[in-house]
Amino acid sequence: MSNAKSLSAALFAGILFGFGLSVAQMIDPAKVVNFLDIFGSWDPSLAFVMGGGLLVNAIATPLILKRGRPILAEFFRVPAKSQVDRRIVIGGVLFGAGWGLAGYCPGPMITSLSFVDGSILTIFTAYVVGTLGAKFGLAKYEDYKHQKHQANEACVG
Amino acid sequence: MEIINFTPLSATLGGALIGLSAAFLLLVKGRVAGISGIFGGIVYPEKGDVSWRILFIAGLIIGGFIYQWLGAGAGVDHIEAVVGTPWLIAAGLLVGVGTTIGTGCTSGHGICGLARRSPRSLVATVTFMATAFVTVYIVRHLFTGGA
């Protein structure tokens, strides 16, 4: 059954990703913060993790996208939007501040749940709450913009 | 500046595995391996688009387990938070809100988006990296007197 195949593929990709993050030692927040500390004790390793990932992916991605469709799906669901907006900058600033504070971005944070540690559960819970809050907030904001737009049209009409 | 604990080989190898995972997910399922995006779709689900996300996220944790099981004390055998609980909560909230508003994190923008040469992902990556550098500078060198 293709659905079972497709789900196994997702599981396999996740395992490979989590294992790769662990091999790269990105699950150690001290290592991440030491990378971000150029003016102190600097550990350049994270640049090599991103470099390695980007090198493989930058070669593979254009070749894969040339295929027209994925092996087990109808079409590629790659973001069509390439335009830069305010959201991308505001979100980047907030995310960067949180990443710098504790040394955890989402991938290593979720992978580190495997250590079943109290500090990980704390930051993970806050991450879930932040994600949920922002999703609700964005949905409300979209509604508000939509209503305002309709109200403006009504006035003009 | 002093260089410490530099592990270029394991970093490059681990990075390459992450790149392979992202390429595999795109090739087979046509999806982008952005962790915050995949996870966000579980927290705020869209009908019919959830089960693969749960398996991918479960895979991340299983990958961590396999590493610990194979490693048996080598490499990273435990984790230690670099800040106390109030800062962990603040950091978690910021990461959740920031990646949701900014539509991605280190993987989605930094590895997948840059590989597609998306200008949006380039601006996102430069922004969060720069902010993270500044944050660490403030925390480590302005507040604690260079501790």
Residues 6+ apart with CB under 8 A from B116: A61, A65, A78
* A135/B44 CB distance under 8 A: yes
Residue B71 confidence (pLDDT): 76
Q: ipTM score of the complex?
A: 0.94
Distance between CA atoms of A117 and A130, rounded to whole angstroms? 20
pTM, full prediction:
0.94
Residue A150 confidence (pLDDT): 83
- Is the pLDDT higher at B3 or at A11? A11
Residue A151 confidence (pLDDT): 82
* B1/A131 CB distance under 8 A: no
Distance between CA atoms of A110 and A131, rounded to whole angstroms? 14
Select the residue of A57, A120, A133 nearest B79 (Cβ to Cβ).
A120
Residues 43-102 in A contacting B (C-alpha not used; CB under 8 Å): 43-58, 60-61, 64-65, 67, 69-79, 81-85, 87-102
* B127/A96 CB distance under 8 A: yes
Q: Is A140 in the B-facing interface, judged by CB distances under 8 Å? A: no
Residue B93 confidence (pLDDT): 98
Walk along chain B (147 residues) in steps of 10 and give the mean pLDDT of each run: 88 97 98 97 93 98 94 73 95 98 96 95 97 95 66
List, for residues A105-120, the tens digit of each pLDDT value.
Answer: 999 999 999 998 899 9
Residue B73 confidence (pLDDT): 54
Percent of chain A past pLDDT 70, that is, above it, reads: 97
Chain B residue numbers with beta carbons less than 8 Å from the beta carbon of A16 are 17-18, 20-21, 24, 59, 63
Question: Is A1 a residue whose pLDDT tops 80?
Answer: no
Residue A145 confidence (pLDDT): 86
Select the residue of B65, B95, B135 nearest A104 (Cβ to Cβ).
B95
CA distances from B130 to A69, A89, A133, B73, B81 (A): 36, 11, 25, 34, 22
Residue B22 confidence (pLDDT): 98
Distance between CA atoms of B6 and A41, rounded to whole angstroms? 11
Distance from CA of A80 to the nearest CA of B (A): 9
Residue B100 confidence (pLDDT): 97
Give the type of residue at B62.
I
Distance between CA atoms of B147 and B139, rounded to whole angstroms? 10
Residue B147 confidence (pLDDT): 45
Distance from CA of A81 to the nearest CA of B (A): 8
List, for residues A41-74, the tens digit of each pLDDT value.
Answer: 899 999 999 999 999 999 999 999 999 899 999 9
* B128/A99 CB distance under 8 A: yes
- What are the sequence ranges of the domains in chain A? 2-82
